Chain A
Amino acid sequence: MAGFEDGDGAPVDDSTFYRRLAHHAGLQFAVLEPDASSDPDFTEINPLASRLLTEELCRHFHMLPIAYRDGVVAVAFCDPFDKLASELATALTSAEVQPVLAEPGDVEQAITRIFGPLRTPHFEDLGPAPQESPRVGDLLVANGAVTDEQVEAALLEQERTGSRLGEVLLHSGAIRETDLIDALVEQFQLPALDIEGGHIDADVVKTIPEPVARELRMAPVATDETTLYIAVVDPINTATVQRLREFTDKEIVGFLAPLSQVDEILEATYREDYSYLATDDLRERSPENCALRVVTTGQKIFLVTIAVVTIIGFVLASTATAVALVGLASVFYLAASLYKFRLIYKALGNPYEVATSEAEVDALDELTLPVYSILVPLYKEASVLPALVKAIEGLNYPKTKLDVLLLCEDDDDETVLAIEAMDLPPHFRLIVVPDSQPKTKPKACNYGLMLARGDITVIFDAEDRPDPDQLKKVVVAFSKCHHEVICVQAKLSYYNPDQNLLTRWFTTEYSMWFELLLPGLDADGAPIPLGGTSNHFLTERLRELGAWDPFNVTEDADLGIRLHRAGYRTAMVDSTTLEEANSDVKNWIRQRSRWIKGYIQTYLVHMRNPLLLMRQAGFAGFLSFQLLIGGTFIFLLNPIFWALTTLFFFTHAGFIQAMFPTFIFYLAAFMLFVGNFVFLYLNVAGSIQKGLFGLAKYALISPLYWGLMSIAAWKGFIQLVTNPFYWEKTEHGLHQGGAAPAAARVPRAEGGPPPMSPGRAAADPQAAAAPERELATPVGGR
């Protein structure tokens, strides 16, 4: 049963419908479109009459006065029986209203013709600027900057994505920014800004607050008694002037400038502020969430008390104390293992990721796609740049809606120069993070986040190869998720599993972690320690949260917990980013020790107030945190138990037997023979689940890998505990940038980049870890 039938059952268009409605209601029907002047019902709008009502009223009630004769106003309505509308029209025109019926689309267009286009800014797009006509294309062709074919192709894309023609051409690399400026100058008859290298007074720039300037894509550059001169990307319209009135009452004169130049001005002005915020924002807003202080006084007292009680216990009743410790450890062990097993087994059978089908990805309207910021922290990685650019250019996302921030360090001239030499299209932005302590990946990301324009922000590592559809899948996922979900984590895997045994193990571990364990956590609604890359955030929420903790070496895991505590959630999406697995044992141990250290940091930070944690994360979330993040300590226990077991088998030493009374012994034996195997076997299952059949046999010898993990765990732990200088130094304000970095001791795991300048290598142990710009990722396996 169609809603409206025309005899033959076909639904009719608006024109027929409203004509018929007019007929039924006994009203006159009017066609307002000038192109349809041949239509018998065409009524020409009297421009004077049309101004009898305000634009707001017309738009709101879908009506428009079209004629005025002898005290009677003919008003075109879309709803002839809208009493309020006709009463208002009568009252405001002080005339008798004669209702005329017109189609809504017709009325809407007529309003636009008369009052101009709707000027409310839209979220979805930085906007097809209505005042910009395809003439830009003609001008560009005329200037010889592009060919007709390129304009044709760009027009097609413009239609699809709603982006401006000039920008489409710019992002596709067809034209340079100066070409566009030239064309725009010609089109709008506006002056262009030409201040390359010129000095700009920061106080002038600060006339307009930074967020407003960013939003409006403009930067004040000079002022005199009467006028404020502003570099603008888009011609200034009345709405813009209206907004600027809040900050200045001077006359405003705009000069066209490329976006990159506006960005440069803003960044140069606010650099120090950004840098300060990137380092200290979280610490100042919520010091309780910052790892700058490793152990709080309360925690110190607690730990010392525990230590004292244990020592007293050993003195008074050594066996009983040992039994108690072994018992506690065993119970914790069992609980953590059972929990992980449960998560993994559940996930083996159920796809817990947010489902995103190809059809849904294809169905996305590129017009409404949000702007996407991609943060790529780089450090001494000039060599991977071509692959990185290729991977990002390969993403299935409109280039005009990409905002790629290549985050380099101030002292990394090599990478900076390499990027500059590549002459990348304008959706790539080179951001040089000012030199300050701590020089960590999270600080760089925080810095980048402040400059990010996207509604969604994702981090990729330099050598990442994300699934081309990943961004779109995430957009689909966000649209499907509850509004609590502010982060979508994609899966990570490696593209070099077959390099050697270590990379094979690493890959099986990742398969289990990202294919099974994290989805299991997701399904449980438990806090998810995020993986180091490919986590997609709603930019605003991330900023509100204080973004990453620059003092935590697994800032991603920490952020995952923090956002959970703030009442937000993370979802998993079935899209994989391939990374490079660490193939060198020494480097691997360094990397892993850092991760484990970071997990312990995270544990300590969030356990500063366990009751609060429990209240915020819920009891189940709290338990999950204890078993998963706290489960890191298992790596420390493992070698102890293995040693005891081995020792006992060979010596049957009595003291060992005494430490394992019946029940604890059975528990320990169960864990040793059944638990270990189950986890080993789950690695096999994870590989097969992921379709990596060839790795199954290597997963079988993963206990050796666990051995490596324990070595790394102790390394990380010792770094954290026994080197007192390490942490005391941090308490004395390392963030102030007084201490110099010393990256030499810990180069990037993959590359073995050259050490930083030796003169700056200082004895600051915190700094030793600081420049490790590596992706902190999960401590997986057992």
Chain B
Amino acid sequence: MATLLQPSPDSPPADETSEQPARAGRARPHFEHVAEEVRLPRWIESLALFLIAAGIFFWVGYKTVVEDGVVVFDALDRLTRAYMVWHNEPPKLAAIGFVFPPLTTMSFLPFTAIKPLATSLVALPLVSALFGGTMVVSMNRLFARCSMPGLRRWLVLALFALNPLVVFYAGNGMSEVVYMALLTVSLYCFMSWFLTAQPRFLVGAALAFSLLVLLRYSFGIWALVIAVMMALGLSRRGADSDESEGTLVAFLAPLIYAVGVWLLFNWLIVGDLLGWLSNSGAFAVNAPQAGAAGDVGIVDVLTRGGQLTLGVFALGILVVPALVMTAVSKRDEMSCWLSILALTGLVIIGAGALIAQDFDVLAMRNALPVLIVCVAGAAWLYQILPNMRTIIWLAALAGLVATGIGSWYEMQRYPFQGQEQAFVNALKSGADQNGSNSIGGYRVGTNPEQRMAAYVNANVRRRSTILTDNAQTFGVILLSGRPQLYFDRVDKGDRTFQQAVLRPYGRVTHMLMAKQASGDLIRRRYPTAASRVVAGLTPVFETERYVLLTLADHDPRRPRGVISTSGSGEAGGQVGGRATPATDRRVSP
């Protein structure tokens, strides 16, 4: 890392003829003024901060998610998959799924091993709170690395951590807090690497980024931007090609490996190397009316971008220009990196929305990475401009206050969101949000899932008898706690599942499908089943979102003898073999 450093004037010149390899560990810091002793937080401080932050996040999360029903269904889906990894029959790692980035589900794994943690949904706030705590601790370290003393950094930290949007995502089980934590860690590592030239920080940053990519594919773009900037920076400082190459290898190797393994899994298990790149575009189960896809224009992007700026990272209005100015005036590389990263975050959102023609990309949560970069940027300014520290600190406080207020309001009115409004309502009123509506067409709560799960648990005993598309009915599966009852896409893979959907008779006794979600594979095959017009399929129980059907022993449209593949008529269940559309044995919800 020798060339990362401007050699100090009194340092002896390196002995060119020496055969002894240079020790990287002996490197001196990049900036003269960093020679000031940086006192990193002691473990006791970190532990205290972790406990406090995680405690608050968990408490708020528990209250809103478990008690008030503000369950984000994406998180519920990941949780269900993690549950199935352990408790499906047979347990399968493939339950993690191959469409969305896998790490969120994996982060649930240690907690879903214990059934009640998952089925009571406590795992959602718990996992988030742990990562939230990690994020706060890492941010505290980052501030300390930037020479911000104790009290000052704790104040900034408090304002950052208590931002309502941060609190929401640090308690609802979504992947956001996981990547916020990892992004903080990696930024901390980058800054430390920059300041101390210790290779282990580069290693840390690289590992963090490899995980980030498995949380949000778009972080791959961030990584590329960083790699390019690294290469430019190294060559600007006259590093030899070996050093540039080695540094880049060290940074990119984990990332490429992570993507590589992901590709391999997709190829081996799904059979489609790049399947994960195509978005399924299914609608959320609990927001049937929502249709985020549409005509996204430049104007939309700009107005929404402005709204996001105010609502999520108002601090950036101060920080980004200041970083750019510092980068130019002091020729400071890290300032340049951070400003480019913040802009990259914004561009990814805007361009993503334009390219995918999907307003969902403009969702509030997608702007959270930029918030992290902005906070880290403020800390860096504090570090790099030692004469203006108090001003920067005050400005950061003001910016964070403005951000907090902005978030509070935007959460209640911004159109593209995931129940932020319900969260604010729950906080404001303290009331149960089950059954209420939230912006974006959401019906808040899991009552429909709970009732269906209760019905299934009471009436179905045999394994693999309910054919269902778990990508839609995960809520029911998890809340029933018995994934072994279901014959789903995880059990034997999609192909077997599709065959079963085509010829369910004799194979299964029930089918469970989402009533309005167009992504439900069973509903696509039997779009009219819920309205009792398909021979052989009889709805037996119905809730707001789901319908449970019983099946005839054999396909009523074919003569009995023909179906040899469906095996013996082991039809069971509560409903008799005869199935006519007129038979209404449905128990009203």
Q: Chain A interface (Cβ within 8 Å of chain B)?
A: 345, 348-349, 351, 465, 467, 493, 495, 574, 576, 578, 649, 662, 665-666, 669, 673, 677, 681, 684-685, 687-697, 700
Q: Which residues of A contact B90 (CB under 8 A)?
A: 662
- Interface readout for B1-26 with A: 1 if CB under 8 Å, 0 if not? 11000000000000000011111110
Complex Cα distance, B22 from A243, in Å, reads 52
Q: Kindly provide the distance from the CB of B114 to the nearest chain A CB, expressed in whole angstroms.
A: 14
Complex Cα distance, B22 from A669, in Å, reads 38
Nearest-CB residue, chain B, relative to A349:
B200
Q: A691-B22, A697-B246 are in contact. List 5 more A-B contacts (CB 8 A).
A: A349-B198, A662-B90, A690-B24, A693-B247, A697-B249
Identify which of residues 72-107 in chain B touch chain A, using a CB-to-CB cut-off of 8 Å. Answer: 85-86, 90-91, 93
Contact B261 A691 (CB under 8 A): no
Which secondary structure dominates where chain A touches chain B?
A: helix
Contact A495 B19 (CB under 8 A): yes
Q: Would you list the 9 A-B pairs with minimal beta carbon distance, nearest first?
A: A693-B246, A348-B200, A696-B246, A694-B242, A696-B249, A691-B22, A662-B91, A688-B199, A693-B242
Q: Is B533 an interface residue (CB 8 A)?
A: no
Q: Which residues of A contact B254 (CB under 8 A)?
A: 677, 681
Contact B249 A700 (CB under 8 A): yes
Nearest-CB residue, chain B, relative to A669:
B93
Q: Kindly provide the distance from the CB of B348 to the nearest chain A CB, expressed in whole angstroms.
A: 27
10 A-B pairs in the complex with CB atoms less than 8 angstroms apart: A576-B21, A578-B19, A681-B203, A681-B254, A688-B199, A688-B250, A691-B1, A691-B24, A692-B21, A696-B253
Identify the interface centre among B85, B199, B207: most chain A CB within 10 Å of its CB. B199
Nearest-CB residue, chain A, relative to B27:
A691
Complex Cα distance, B251 from A685, in Å, reads 10
Q: Is B202 an interface residue (CB 8 A)?
A: yes
Identify which of residues 404-441 in chain B touch chain A, using a CB-to-CB cut-off of 8 Å. Answer: none
Q: Is B555 an interface residue (CB 8 A)?
A: no
Contact A684 B25 (CB under 8 A): no
Contact A685 B250 (CB under 8 A): yes
Complex Cα distance, B23 from A574, in Å, reads 10
- Interface readout for B321-346 with A: 1 if CB under 8 Å, 0 if not? 00000000000000000000000000
Question: Which of A576, A677, A689, A693 makes the CB contact (< 8 A) with B25?
Answer: A689
Complex Cα distance, B200 from A351, in Å, reads 12
A-B contact count (CB 8 A): 88
Complex Cα distance, B25 from A172, in Å, reads 38
Question: Which of B91, B199, B206 makes the CB contact (< 8 A) with A689?
Answer: B199
Q: Which residues of A contact B86 (CB under 8 A)?
A: 662
Complex Cα distance, B22 from A681, in Å, reads 21
Contact A578 B253 (CB under 8 A): no
Complex Cα distance, B246 from A687, in Å, reads 9
Contact B261 A673 (CB under 8 A): yes
Question: Which of A348, A351, A665, A677 makes the CB contact (< 8 A) with B199?
Answer: A348
Identify the interface centre among B90, B200, B268: most chain A CB within 10 Å of its CB. B200
Complex Cα distance, B1 from A669, in Å, reads 35
- Interface readout for B124-162 with A: 1 if CB under 8 Å, 0 if not? 000000000000000000000000000000000000000
Q: Which residues of B contact A349 (CB under 8 A)?
A: 198, 200
Question: Which of A495, A662, A669, A691 makes the CB contact (< 8 A) with B23?
Answer: A691
Nearest-CB residue, chain A, relative to B198:
A349
Contact A695 B246 (CB under 8 A): yes
Q: Which residues of A contact B203 (CB under 8 A)?
A: 348, 681, 684-685, 688
Q: Is B257 an interface residue (CB 8 A)?
A: yes
Complex Cα distance, B242 from A576, in Å, reads 21
Contact A690 B23 (CB under 8 A): yes
Question: Which of B21, B85, B245 makes the CB contact (< 8 A) with A697?
Answer: B245
Contact A351 B19 (CB under 8 A): no
Q: Kindly provide the distance from the CB of B29 to the nearest chain A CB, expressed in whole angstroms.
A: 15
Q: Which residues of B contact A669 (CB under 8 A)?
A: 93
Contact A694 B253 (CB under 8 A): no
Complex Cα distance, B250 from A5, in Å, reads 63
Q: Which residues of A contact B25 (CB under 8 A)?
A: 351, 689
Contact B199 A694 (CB under 8 A): no
Q: Is B243 an interface residue (CB 8 A)?
A: yes
- Interface readout for B200-231 with A: 1 if CB under 8 Å, 0 if not? 10110011000000000000000000000000
Contact A649 B20 (CB under 8 A): no
Contact B250 A465 (CB under 8 A): no
Q: Which residues of B contact A665 (CB under 8 A)?
A: 93
Complex Cα distance, B246 from A692, in Å, reads 8
Q: Kindly provide the distance from the CB of A170 to the nearest chain B CB, expressed in whole angstroms.
A: 30
| Given known A576-B20, A694-B242, A697-B246, contact A688–B202 (CB-CB < 8 A) | yes
Complex Cα distance, B23 from A576, in Å, reads 10
Q: Kindly provide the distance from the CB of B97 to the nearest chain A CB, expressed in whole angstroms.
A: 16
Complex Cα distance, B25 from A576, in Å, reads 14
